[in-house]
A = this chain, B = another copy of it.
Amino acid sequence: FRKQNLNPRELAKKICNGNTIALSRAITLVESTNPEHTEKANEIITACLPKANKSIRIGITGVPGAGKSTFIESFGLHLTSLEKKVAVLAVDPSSSISKGSILGDKTRMEDLVRDRNAFIRPSPSGDSLGGVARKTRETIILCEACGFDTIIIETVGVGQSETAVHSMVDFFLLLKLAGAGDELQGIKRGIMEMADAIVINKADGDNLKPAKKARAEFARALHIYPPKESGWIPKALVASSINGSGIDDIWKLIEDYKENTFASGYFNTKRMEQQKFWFLQTIEERLKTNFYQNKTIKAALKEKEKALEAMEETPFKAANELLNLYYNL
């Protein structure tokens, strides 16, 4: 179909009929900074909403080198072999093909790219995490409306983006490698507490034994953590993307999680809470932007920061003076 003839209603209809070309077109509108495109995108999303929300959303994080791409390819192919329809998205605010972004280079997932039941989309570009996260959230809705029942969202576990991804998925998986010191490097504090499962990846050949040892260590550590709100106790597993061992177990674990949290009602409660989180988050981000981007405030802020560094004022007094200035502008 020709680009010129696309109106939002038609696109939405095609998406809901499983047309992935229409899906790609709509995602391009979602990612565009052109206000006309944004308006069209909003119409499409609103039309798709009733068909969305029927999937399992899985977040996958891990430092560069943890083998995310090969893991996702192996995991994705396993899922399509079970007749799942798999969409793979990414949240990586710094992403660009030249920087070797995860999904930018689709050749890393050669077989999955060719799979008719898989849909792979690189991370949208954008310098603000908020912007990238919004685009990915909206893309999830479109993918679900298009019939994808398993949404995988990949992120690099070194910045703030994994917190954003954690807030848009049902199940959060942390990929790790066995090996001296690796447990202690690269991964930001707090990520371990977000994980519903930790997978020690590349558990094959000479690496199998250290991987199993690392798995046992993590299992012990996870056991000591307070339980998650879901009542779920995070699990530690090993997997190999090369020989495929462990991949099936991970999927069974996720199905188990879905069944459990569906039965308890937690699954839907969490999705509702995530909706509300993004709603309030968007509001608060814009309130802050409006304040901090104000020219008068910008200048006054610098002065106040100097006063704070020189210990001439308390943070509370400085803040209140700035706010009084803002509300009297």
Residues of chain A whose beta carbon lies under 8 Å from any beta carbon of chain B: 42, 45-46, 49-50, 52-53, 134, 137-138, 141, 183-193, 217-218, 220-221, 224-228, 272, 275-284, 286-288, 290-291, 304-305, 308-309, 311-320, 322-323, 327
Task: Give the residues in chain B near A317, CB-CB below 8 Å.
Answer: 42, 45-46
Q: Give complex CA distance A59, B137 in Å.
A: 39
| Interface contact B226-A217, CB-CB below 8 Å | no
| Interface contact A141-B314, CB-CB below 8 Å | yes
Picked from B46, B186, B278, B287, the residue with its CB within 8 Å of the CB of A315 is B278
Instruction: Please judge, given known A-B contacts A190-B190, A193-B189, whether A279 and B315 are in contact too, CB under 8 Å.
Output: yes
Q: List 27 A-B contacts (CB under 8 A).
A: A45-B314, A46-B317, A49-B313, A50-B311, A138-B314, A183-B224, A184-B225, A184-B226, A189-B225, A189-B226, A193-B193, A218-B224, A220-B221, A221-B221, A276-B308, A278-B319, A279-B304, A279-B308, A279-B315, A279-B319, A282-B315, A282-B316, A283-B291, A284-B287, A284-B288, A287-B288, A287-B291
| Interface contact A185-B312, CB-CB below 8 Å | no
Q: How many copies does the complex hold?
A: 2
Q: Give complex CA distance A231, B309 in Å.
A: 24
Q: Report which residue of A42, A221, A288, A327 has the largest number of chain B beta carbons within 10 angstroms of its beta carbon.
A: A221
Picked from B46, B49, B192, B282, the residue with its CB within 8 Å of the CB of A319 is B282
| Interface contact B183-A312, CB-CB below 8 Å | no
Q: Give complex CA distance A74, B187 in Å.
A: 38
Q: Give complex CA distance A320, B327 in Å.
A: 21
Q: Give complex CA distance A279, B302 in Å.
A: 12
Q: Give complex CA distance A272, B317 in Å.
A: 16
| Interface contact B220-A311, CB-CB below 8 Å | no
Task: Give the residues in chain B near A277, CB-CB below 8 Å.
Answer: 315
Task: Give the residues in chain B near A220, CB-CB below 8 Å.
Answer: 217, 220-221
Please give 17 more A-B residue pairs, beta carbons under 8 A apart, in addition to A187-B226, A188-B226.
A45-B314, A46-B312, A52-B311, A137-B316, A138-B316, A141-B314, A184-B224, A189-B228, A220-B221, A221-B224, A221-B225, A278-B316, A279-B319, A284-B284, A287-B291, A287-B323, A290-B327
Q: Give complex CA distance A8, B42 in Å.
A: 58
| Interface contact B287-A225, CB-CB below 8 Å | no
Task: Give the residues in chain B near A327, CB-CB below 8 Å.
Answer: 290
A166 → chain B closest CB, angstroms: 12
Q: Report which residue of A46, A50, A183, A275 has the largest number of chain B beta carbons within 10 angstroms of its beta carbon.
A: A275
Instruction: Please judge, given known A-B contacts A224-B221, A284-B284, whether A49 and B311 are in contact too, CB under 8 Å.
Output: yes
